[in-house]
Chain A
Amino acid sequence: MKQIIIKRLIIGLFVILVVTMLTFALLQLFPGDPAKMIAPWAGEETLIEIRKSFGLDSPFHIQVLKFYQDALKGDFGESFFYREEVRTLLFSYFPRTIYLTLGALLMALVISIPLGVLSALNRDSFIDRIVLFISITSQSLPNFWLALMFILFFAVKLGLFPAGGYGSWQHLFLPSFALACTLIATFIRSIRSMMIDVLEQDFIKASEARGIPRLYIIKKGLRNTFVPLLTLFTMQLGYMLGGAVVIEFIFNYPGIGLLAMQAVLRRDYPLIQGLVVLISTVFIILNLLVDLSYTYLDPRIRKEEL
């Protein structure tokens, strides 16, 4: 087990290396001069100065090496646009995206647990069909579109929630709801099938026969779904991070999604690099956790896949 984790971490480092290298190469292909983006109206002399101060005048391989050298110390340079340490920017923006994601998780659980249990208890009935409809619908709706509809309805028409920004839990509600959309589908489905599994087991039938209340049985069953749901959530996190980019863009929610979008549009090289490193690290750790939880749940794959 220990060996596997170490091996995976080494692979993770390798991946981050390749990913940053790729990003560097891609950024070289950007048309336009980043110095010009920093100071659009500057004269030639100032431009040369700017290039010098950001190290943009040195050859490509020197830039790459310098980046790794600094990155090892945890220093990703200074953002062109914000004139702030990339590290500080990431530290202040990333938690907001985590709140958003956790909000989405909570929302998804609140919606999908009752629906999943309901459809498991009323299998193949009308209720079951309706829940199936809801789950497939939530899977089919583009979340950015749903976000816009929410703004149109809850913010503009009813004025219940703010249409964008950051501050209170009200600001979190609509974006988390929109982000929860895809999670709801997967959650409902797995809660339903796991509940059915539990309901079919002998000990449940026995306790039912003994007259133990239904609610208690449901609680027992739900406990079994906890670990698989967490795994599912972790698996979806990568996808949700992608969704968060647009959701944050729409709600003008200052998380790393919005930061990433703006960084690319503003050609903010150090910030893009910092974000790429941060997000890939998060992805790699999450993937490792998912795989480990799989091995924990299903010992048969313990040897092979990892």
Chain B
Amino acid sequence: MNLDTNIDNNTLLKKDNINFKGKLSRWYRFLLTNKGIFFGSLITFIVIFCVVFAPLVTTYDPLKQDITKRLTPPMWQDGGSIEHILGTDSMGRDLLTRIIYGGRFSLLLGLTSVLIALMVGTLFGLITGYYGGFLENILMRIVDIQLGFPFIILVVIILSIAEPTFWVLSALFSLLLWPGYARVVRSILLSEKSAAYVLAAKSLGASDFRIIIIYIARNIIPSMLLMSTMDIATIIITEAMLGFVGLGTPPPAPTWGNIMADGKNYISTAWWVITFPGVAIWITLFGINLFGDNLQQFVNPKLRKKY
């Protein structure tokens, strides 16, 4: 890698920014005019807003117990009150509050794990895709192992050894996800590497670093964005599932998974405890998937005219 040329090319870089414009404005136009993307991100933003500003949305403390009010039904059922809109759980805690605070955990977990996986995977994919050889072989074998490993068993084994804290879970998820990113980045790189514009840049003396960062990286961004939204959705579901079978973060701190695990014990008497966290997941993932689905049409133009 030759970094010197990069400094010399600073002026050129600015000029390139202008050239970006055409591509970027196409992006904006697509993002703004596509209804699916609009509604998808609207739903997602509302969820994120509720979760981030949880203390403003609800005045209850998610951990405050009130045994006298345990298992109060939601407000529209007999015995429910306006005080607890979605009712209370087995400890008399407000369910809506717990779901909102639980969303903090799930969303943050998804975001953190995907960011780590994205960074590691992209870096590894870029290096292996561009240089090939030995590292590439190692990467492909790691991907093979990852594809061949029954990950659910791995996760269950690890979580019964290690305490499933936030960081353990995010480390685990990013460990599972990064080879996927590396693989996609690598395959895009492979197809772009021999493209005419890269050859042109090379013959003009551009460094490897510059070619990867300036020319190829931006072709990768849409695919990466798509993959990360889909992966965040998967992580949210998986976390809930792990919590549900009792392998997620232990109470009292609420997560969508452990609220459901608690609700499972009262499924015949208090349907709401287990139902509403699922509804919360559904709304959140609906937003994310609607967004991702439409983004896919941008990433993969073949699909565009069909939806």
Contacts and interface: CB of A to CB of B under 8 A. Distances in A.
Interface of A: 11-12, 14-16, 18-19, 22-23, 26-27, 29-31, 132, 136-137, 139-142, 144-146, 148-149, 151-152, 156, 192-193, 196-197, 238, 241-242, 245-246, 249, 260-261, 264-265, 272, 275-276, 279-280, 283-284, 287, 304-305
A260 B156 contact: yes
A276 B285 contact: no
A140 B278 contact: no
B244 A152 contact: no
B18 interface: no
A241 B152 contact: yes
30 contacts: A11-B141, A11-B144, A14-B144, A15-B141, A15-B149, A19-B149, A23-B157, A27-B157, A132-B307, A136-B289, A140-B281, A140-B285, A140-B286, A142-B241, A142-B281, A145-B274, A192-B306, A241-B152, A242-B151, A246-B245, A249-B245, A260-B150, A260-B152, A261-B245, A272-B157, A276-B153, A283-B147, A283-B148, A284-B147, A284-B148
A-B pairs, top 7 by smallest CB distance, nearest first, are A140-B285, A145-B278, A279-B150, A15-B148, A242-B152, A140-B286, A280-B148
Contact of B278 (A137, A149, A246): A149
B148 A137 contact: no
A141 B267 contact: no
A198 to B, nearest CB: 12
A144 B282 CA distance: 12
A193 B282 contact: no
A30 B161 contact: yes
B289 A142 contact: no
Contacts, number: 130
B125 to A, nearest CB: 14
A196 B306 CA distance: 7
B160 A30 contact: yes
B58 to A, nearest CB: 22
Most buried by B among A12, A137, A144: A144
Interface string B136-166: 0000010011011111111011101100000
A279 B153 contact: yes
Contact of A145 (B144, B158, B260): B260
B271 interface: yes
Interface in B195-243: 233, 237, 240-241
Interface string B264-307: 10011001001101100110111011100100000000010011
Given A27-B157, A193-B306, A305 B187 contact: yes
A196 B303 CA distance: 11
Given A19-B149, A245-B156, 4 more contacts: A30-B161, A137-B286, A145-B281, A284-B148
A29 B162 CA distance: 9
A132 B290 CA distance: 9
B161 A260 contact: no
Given A264-B160, A265-B160, A304-B190, A148 B264 contact: yes
A259 to B, nearest CB: 11
B156 A152 contact: no
A260 B153 CA distance: 7
B271 A19 contact: no
Contacts of A156: 268
B244 A144 contact: yes
Contacts of B274: 145, 148
A1 B132 CA distance: 23
B271 A152 contact: yes
Contacts of B284: 140
Nearest to B284: A140
Contacts of A136: 286, 289-290, 293
B275 A280 contact: no
A12 B148 contact: yes
Contacts of B161: 26, 29-31
A305 B233 CA distance: 28
A287 B156 contact: no
A118 B96 CA distance: 38
Contacts of A18: 145
Given A152-B271, A193-B306, A249-B245, A16 B282 contact: no
A15 B143 CA distance: 10
Contacts of B144: 11-12, 14-15
Contacts of A15: 141, 144-145, 148-149
Nearest to A141: B282
Contact of A283 (B150, B160, B275, B281): B150
A141 B278 contact: yes
A246 B239 CA distance: 12
A145 B240 contact: yes
A280 B150 contact: yes
B31 to A, nearest CB: 18
Given A145-B240, A272-B153, A19 B148 contact: yes
A58 to B, nearest CB: 22
A238 B147 CA distance: 9
A142 B237 contact: yes
Contacts of B149: 15, 19, 22, 276, 280, 283
